């Protein structure tokens, strides 16, 4: 089995053959992928070495110390956190070889075409249709998706569509890899409370998807999508952070630098949130270890729940701590950003942006149900539509 010593030897070889100071960034990232140092736990030839996932930190630390470029994970987070693990698990050999390398290098940005205007919290109620063309075997897709982060930048999308409306809603769905450059794809910005438009709505009109870009079996899309969703929640709520990383670091820094703003009541709230943020961070570490041993479980939903609540409470505390200053938001402009940068912005932006945390990656209400049923073992809510054909459901 590959160990830390072998990985460090491989890193040294990579740096010797491709010095970061004289190698183009994309060339270095391609060489890193080919050396198996992208995802060390992935199979050889697909960016990894079948090494323990925990050893990725050894590679990352050595490369960072040498000044090597990273692949800007905030810009390609959907590809890294959602598309890649799903393609790895369900993709054919050809699909893995075609998509994983440019995805990791950042040559191709991905987005997620799941939610719809009438199927957000109840994703399985989606209405986008994919009909197979007999002459070519291709799928023709028509429908609308919404709240699509980064669709304005994306080259590819992970897409679920209904392929058999005569089956119950969870069973008539198929999962596809959609080319966002197809002429039938139209992306429109959705302006947010922050003034920006990192989200989009996407209209699909006669979009042609080859059957070779179907992921998993026909009608098995819900099973495949659950893998994506579990990875999404872990990637949102379970990001590995140092102590005082993320939102709590920003408010703790203000507290230390601005003693004139302190009050006893705010001190007590900050201490409480600091402890909760540290508990959440350590829990994320534990879930990361669980992830290293296999597929993510429903515990990721609990992490994402905690992430949303803490971000909103911490950003609210920061605004109160700064008083009038906290109401300032210096950059309320219509932009379509390439990445979300929360900690690098002012308090007003953080407060507004955190409101979306309880919606993206699954609403908090849905995640509470998942935790209740799949983690705590509580009785499920009554579901009258479970065995009813989708076409017969009231909409």
Q: Tell me if residue 232 is catalytic.
A: yes
What are phi and psi for residue 68, nearest 5 degrees?
Answer: -75, 145
Degrees, nearest 5: CA angle 142-76-174: 30
Contact call for residues 140 and 131 (beta carbons, < 8 A): yes
Contact call for residues 237 and 306 (beta carbons, < 8 A): yes
**Three-class secondary structure of residue 370 per DSSP:** helix
Instruction: Single out the catalytic residue among 116, 196, 201, 232.
Output: 232
Between CA 249 and CA 240 the distance in angstroms is: 14
Q: Which two tokens stand for residue 384?
A: 């009258």
Q: Which residues of 130-153 are buried (b: 16+ CB within 10 A; e: fewer)?
A: beeeeeeebbbbbbbbbbbbbbbb
Between CA 310 and CA 146 the distance in angstroms is: 26
Contact call for residues 371 and 309 (beta carbons, < 8 A): no
Q: With helix as H, strand as E and coil as C, how does 156-177 read? A: EEEEEEECCCCCECCCCEEEEE
Tell me which H or E stretch contains 226.
helix 221-237
Cα 381 to chain centroid, rounded: 27
Tell me which H or E stretch contains 140.
strand 139-145
Q: Which residues fall within 8 angstroms of residue 232, CB to CB, at 6 or more apart? A: 81, 82, 112, 361, 362
Q: Which positions are annotated as active-site residues? A: 232
């Amino acid at each position: 089995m590959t160990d830390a010593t072998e990985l460090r030897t491989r890193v040294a070889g990579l740096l010797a053959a491709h010095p970061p100071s004289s190698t183009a960034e994309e060339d270095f990232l391609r060489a890193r992928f080919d050396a198996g140092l992208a995802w060390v736990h992935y199979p050889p030839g697909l960016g990894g070495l079948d090494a323990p996932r925990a050893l990725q930190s050894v590679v990352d630390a050595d490369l960072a110390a040498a000044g090597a470029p990273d692949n800007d994970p905030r810009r390609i987070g959907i590809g890294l956190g959602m598309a890649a693990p799903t393609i790895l698990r369900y993709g054919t050999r050809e699909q893995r070889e075609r998509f994983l390398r440019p995805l990791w290098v950042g040559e191709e940005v991905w987005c997620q075409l799941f939610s719809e205007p009438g199927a957000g919290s109840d994703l399985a109620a989606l209405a986008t249709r994919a009909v197979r063309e007999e002459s070519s075997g291709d799928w023709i897709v028509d429908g609308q998706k919404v709240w699509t982060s980064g669709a304005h930048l994306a080259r590819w999308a992970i897409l679920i569509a209904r392929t058999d409306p005569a089956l119950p809603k969870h069973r008539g769905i198929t999962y596809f890899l959609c080319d966002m450059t197809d002429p039938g794809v139209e992306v429109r910005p959705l302006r947010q409370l922050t003034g920006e438009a990192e989200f989009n709505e996407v209209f699909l009109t006669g979009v042609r998807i080859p059957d070779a870009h179907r992921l998993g079996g026909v009608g098995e899309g819900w099973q495949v999508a659950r893998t994506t969703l579990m990875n999404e929640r872990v990637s949102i709520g379970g990001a590995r952070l140092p102590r005082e990383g993320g939102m709590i670091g920003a408010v703790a820094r203000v507290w230390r630098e601005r003693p004139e703003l302190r009050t006893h009541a705010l001190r007590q709230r900050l201490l409480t949130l600091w402890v909760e943020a540290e508990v959440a961070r350590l829990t994320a570490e534990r879930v990361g270890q669980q992830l290293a041993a296999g597929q993510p479980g429903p515990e990721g939903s609990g992490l994402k729940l905690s992430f949303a609540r803490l971000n909103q409470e911490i950003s609210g505390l920061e605004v109160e701590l700064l008083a009038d200053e906290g109401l300032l938001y210096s950059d309320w402009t219509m932009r379509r950003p390439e990445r979300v940068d929360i900690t690098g912005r002012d308090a007003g932006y953080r407060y507004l942006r955190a409101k979306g945390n309880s919606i993206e990656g699954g609403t908090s209400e849905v995640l509470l149900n998942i935790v209740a049923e799949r983690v705590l073992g509580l009785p499920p809510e009554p579901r009258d539509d479970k065995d009813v054909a989708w076409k017969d459901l009231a909409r």
